[in-house]
């Protein structure tokens, strides 16, 4: 159990640093690559939870497809690849205050909702069939809405790129 906690801490630390770099880097391609680290960390946490199928889907769908779509959109819109000075502004202090406030509110809400509740030691691991049922029956509408949203983003990127 202690080894799992240490591995979780290492993965969470790497994800936290990569997430911070996603929003602070000035190179958009580097931001997408840092996002790969975050999404791969989520898959690693799924593996720690013994949900190998969900981890494989995370890698295939998010790291494989969504990130390729992001990079494809970056290339199609002819976004500047190198450092861009106009992407920065003077509102970092305000952003830090708002982020810390939201962190405090989220922590208070979670503490109020769950308190000292712990997961049971004999928590059942979901099988692949249960995950599939949940995605394609219970959450089919959000699943389809996300796919339409991604298609609209891809069509919008093509339209913006073809304006010349």
Residue 72 lies in a domain: yes
CATH no. for residue 148? 1.20.120.1200
Which one-letter DSSP state was computed for residue 63? I
pLDDT single digits (tens) 38-73: 999 999 998 988 888 888 888 888 888 877 777 777
Residue 60 lies in a domain: yes
Residue 15 lies in a domain: yes
Contacts of 36 (CB under 8 A, 6+ apart): 63, 67
Tell me how far the alpha carbon of residue 102 is from its chain's centroid.
Answer: 18
Residue 101 lies in a domain: no
**The whole model's pTM is what?**
0.61
Confidence grade of residue 89 (pLDDT, cut at 50, 70, 90)? confident
pLDDT single digits (tens) 93-113: 898 899 999 999 999 999 998
Residue 112 lies in a domain: no
**Structural domain range at position 82:** 2-89+123-161
**Domain total for the chain?**
1
| Residue 77 region by backbone torsions, left for phi larger than 0, else alpha for psi between -120 and 50, else beta | alpha
Say how far apart CA 18 and CA 35 lie, in whole Å: 7
Residue 95 lies in a domain: no
Which one-letter DSSP state was computed for residue 134? I
């Amino acid at each position: 159990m202690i080894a799992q906690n240490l591995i979780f801490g290492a993965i969470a630390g790497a994800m936290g640093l990569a997430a911070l770099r996603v929003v602070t880097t000035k190179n958009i391609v580097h931001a997408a690559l840092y996002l790969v680290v975050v999404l791969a960390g989520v898959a690693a946490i799924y593996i720690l939870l013994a949900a190998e199928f969900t981890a494989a889907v995370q890698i295939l769908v998010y790291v494989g497809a969504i990130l390729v779509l992001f990079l494809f959109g970056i290339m199609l819109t002819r976004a500047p690849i190198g450092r861009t000075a106009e992407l920065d502004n003077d509102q970092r202090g305000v952003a830090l205050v708002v982020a810390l406030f939201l962190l405090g509110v989220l922590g208070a809400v979670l503490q109020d909702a769950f308190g000292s509740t712990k997961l049971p030691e004999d928590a059942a691991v979901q099988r692949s069939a249960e995950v599939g049922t949940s995605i394609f029956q219970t959450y089919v509408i959000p699943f389809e809405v996300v796919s339409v949203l991604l298609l609209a983003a891809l069509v919008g990127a093509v339209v913006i790129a073809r304006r010349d």
